[in-house]
Chains A and B, each alone.
Chain A
Amino acid sequence: MARSFIYRRGGRTGEVSFNMTPLVDCTFLLILFFLLTSQMASESLARLEIARPRGSQAVQARMAARGVVINVLSAQDAPGGTAADGRAIAYLVDGRRIPAGDIEALTQLLRARASAEGTGRNLLVEVRADRRVHYGHVEPVLSAAAKAGVPRMNITAVAEPAR
């Protein structure tokens, strides 16, 4: 018969011990769960507030199929930023930080990526802007992509959970 939670060890009397095996099993299962479900920090994805539209039509894509991700960071997260600040502070592309407003540098980077792909039509650009940034500060990014010859782009938004 299997011994339960507390059992007598060997033939000795008076010595009791916890059965550690189920405890270790559960702990390992929990660790495995966390390792598999958590998303590792990615160099191309900055921490920012993503737009959350009602009845989101956003489709989840695999990381490999995302192309060039342009992160537009909000000035609200910068030191001294206020809640009313709708400016962008920087663009983050492939781990490279470009100061907001330096559209020439952004266009050159996108052109280089487009030529690596053959033509801009093959390049997929994903605009991942902070939801609090005003359109006046995101539009130059969209225009830079258009100047680099990229006709279509994806906008990042929170996707609704699959049903």
Chain B
Amino acid sequence: MEAMRERIQLASDRSLTRRPFRVGRGRDRSKIQPLLTPMIDVTFQLLLFLLLVGTFRPPEGQIPAVSPQRAGIALAQRDVAKPIVLTLRRTGDGVAYEMSGLGRRWTSPQELYTGLIACRESLGSDQVAVVVRPGQDVPWNNVVEAVNQAIRAKFRNVGIHPLSP
């Protein structure tokens, strides 16, 4: 009876013992398994690191343009007709887009786009060069906006004018 009690005690002690790295699971003692806890710890640390460090950047792209080279503008002038010169001026609260020859003035990119579309349709050609001529104090964002709207209006030859001709 005493021996039986000792055997039961020993069995329950064994069941409480934890082996550090390899644990026999269930009744099948030959099955071994790595301890998952440190692996999960490291994985969560990695996940947190990536979440905190990663910054989401807007997708970038390129708009093609001609460099401010006098030769390029002269070539454009020789091509089909006089180029459309789009002058950008700084106003009190923003930037105004003016088209030479037509005496038209726009203040928003959408208006500029509509005006350029009308201009291209009246000219009947997309080969006419568009030269963007910004003032010295015009933010680069507006220069890109003007070039973008000209390309959006399906003009093929869009360039930027130098400050000193």
Contact = CB atoms under 8 A, between A and B. Distances in A.
Interface of A: 9-12, 20, 23-24, 27-28, 30-31, 34-35, 38-39, 50-61, 66, 72, 86, 125-126, 128-136, 138-139, 142-143, 145-146, 150-159, 161
A55 B60 contact: no
A143 B162 contact: yes
Size class of the contact patch on chain B? 35 or more
Contact of A27 (B44, B151, B152): B44
6 contacts: A24-B39, A57-B63, A133-B140, A134-B138, A158-B58, A159-B60
Interface in B99-116: 109-110, 113
B125 interface: no
A27 B43 contact: yes
Given A27-B40, A152-B64, A157-B61, A136 B136 contact: yes
B76 interface: no
B64 A54 contact: no
A139 B148 contact: no
Interface of B: 15, 25-27, 36, 39-40, 43-44, 46-47, 50-51, 54, 57-69, 72, 88, 109-110, 113, 134-141, 143-145, 147-149, 151-152, 160, 162-163
B162 to A, nearest CB: 6
B60 A28 contact: no
Contact of B26 (A11, A86, A131): A11
Given A12-B15, A24-B43, A57-B63, A157 B139 contact: no
Given A28-B43, A31-B47, A133-B139, A54 B110 contact: yes
A153 B134 CA distance: 17
